[in-house]
Amino acid sequence: MINPTQKLALKSILTCLVTMGGFISPAIAQSNQTITDKLEPFKAASSMIIANNKQLKDEFRCELGEDNFSRTIAYTKLGRRINLITWKGITNQGSGYSPEVRCRIVANRFQRFSNAGKLRYVSTGRMNNHPIVCISSNGGQCQTNGLLLTLDPKDNPEQTLKELFDVGSRADGGDFVRAGKGGKTVIDITQLIYSTP
């Protein structure tokens, strides 16, 4: 004879088996299969939504524009396309790198810093007696191994930084530019790619 406690335990086990799709009887199995068949289109649709939204991070690419200038582009996880740098009239011609190569190098560095969660601010500094554009703190101090671009010794790094990000011509009036320590210019990349109209 089954006591009430055992009866409750058996009922719980049977309920679990039915819920998990266990085969209690052909009728229950058929019922579970019917439910599965009805859910299949929803499963397919959810897989498609996940596939279409696989870009769950910001992506940085180098693309050639219709004007034949290379551009470093940010594709945000929200689906926006932001032109970060247009490689025209940029100094450092003596580096031996073409604008296309520099564009690709910088896009790859942006991606690496973004993937590591270190991409927030860009400023200027010095490395090996050359002015550089670098990933920085909000005060403008370059991060260790934060090199984005090496400039010519004769270049004015502050001016070059503003030219790179086309500060004067953007519709938002350069709201992404802030003052760092010692009068350094600091570009807030998050502000630039998420707040630019």
- Distance CA(64)–CA(167), nearest Å, equals 21
Mind listing the pLDDT tens digit of every residue in the chain (197 residues)?
555 545 444 455 444 444 444 444 555 445 545 554 554 554 444 444 444 544 578 999 999 888 888 999 999 988 889 999 998 866 555 567 788 899 999 999 999 999 999 999 999 999 988 899 999 998 899 999 999 999 888 888 999 998 888 887 776 667 888 888 888 889 999 888 887 66
Report yes or no: 104 and 140 within 8 Å, Cβ to Cβ.
no
Q: Give which of 106, 103, 140 is closest to 120, Cα–Cα.
A: 140
d(CA 128, CA 139): 21
Q: How many residues does the chain have?
A: 197
Tokens at 62, concatenated: 């180098």
